[in-house]
Amino acid sequence: MNGDEENKIDAAIERIAVLEKAYDELEAQTKAQLLVLKEQIRSIAKAELRALYGDEQKYLGSVLYWHHKKWVAVRTVGDGIGLSEHSVYTWVYAAEYKKKCVTCGAEFGEPMSSRGQMGASWHSWRTQCPSCKQKADEVSQRKLTAWQEERARNIEALRTMPYSEYLQTDHWREVRRRAQKRAGFRCEICNNPEGIQVHHRTYERRGEERNDDLIVLCENCHRTFHENGKLVRDYGGAS
């Protein structure tokens, strides 16, 4: 390396170091500003709590505790109300939080269980009242049952129809396509990509085959396997 190149490298390192220093300074500055804001939020929370009494004070404390956990510590609520952290826990956990049902509009209270669970689920299913929720559960249970029954009927039909008819079904076409894809469109014995066929190793689960129930073979290997009787007998089909 000549002197010129060394100078270039030094200059590059220096430019990067300048940016790194700027980054660190900005990071430290931002953190300090965030801390100031956090302190402001806490002191406002405390002041607002101290300005209230009785149930209203507890209600605001409860809202702060459940909805502002990023900034408002239990200690902040305790300080504002003049209670120990332990007492705050006792009454916030016992509190019922008023919510409005999204389905019927009724107001209802629900006991809180954990501050951690709150966030994400708050605006979704938790805002249905218990009776609407039960109705919705029953509807989805009925749908699930109907779906399961239909699936069972479909499988039964696939299992009992003549094999030649089975080979024409969308189900088999899809199962066969997926088996070929899994095998990389090659014979699983000799790697030949031409004229591949999908063979049932067992018919036990016809209509709901597992991956292991099938093997992808080229014409040659398929014939050899059948001649040697290594695989189960086909039911007169082309598979």
Cβ-contact 85, 78 below 8 angstroms: yes
**Closest to Zn ion by CB, 178 or 186:** 186
What Å distances lie between residue 107 and 36, 97, 99, 113, CA to CA? 38, 10, 6, 19
The window from 41-49, 68-76, 103-111, 136-144 that contacts Zn ion (CB under 5 A) reads: 103-111
Which amino acid, one-letter code, is at 239? S
**Closest to Zn ion by CB, 17 or 106:** 106
Selected binder of Zn ion within 33, 103, 148, 211 (CB under 5 A)? 103
**Closest to Zn ion by CB, 80 or 207:** 207
Q: Which x/- pattern, by CB under 5 A, does the window 61-100 give for Zn ion?
A: ----------------------------------------
Query: Which long-range contacts (C-beta less than 8 Å, at least 24 apart) are formed by 219-227?
Result: 219/194, 219/195, 220/190, 220/192, 221/187, 221/189, 221/190, 221/192, 222/197, 225/199
Interstrand relation of 96-100 and 214-217 (parallel, antiparallel or unpaired) = unpaired
Helix (H) or strand (E) segment spanning residue 132: helix 130-160
What Å distances lie between residue 1 and 5, 173, 181, 192, CA to CA? 6, 66, 54, 55
What Å distances lie between residue 131 and 100, 110, 226, CA to CA? 13, 13, 61
Selected binder of Zn ion within 11, 104, 139, 238 (CB under 5 A)? 104
Total binding residues toward Zn ion, as defined by CB under 5 A: 14
Site for Zn ion contains 101 (CB under 5 A)? yes
Q: Which x/- pattern, by CB under 5 A, does the window 152-191 give for Zn ion?
A: -----------------------------------x-xx-
In three-state secondary structure terms, 199 is strand
Q: Which x/- pattern, by CB under 5 A, does the window 122-141 give for Zn ion?
A: -------x--x---------
Q: Which x/- pattern, by CB under 5 A, does the window 199-228 give for Zn ion?
A: x------------------x--x-------
Binding site residues, Zn ion, CB under 5 A:
101, 103-104, 106, 129, 132, 187, 189-190, 192, 199, 218, 221, 234
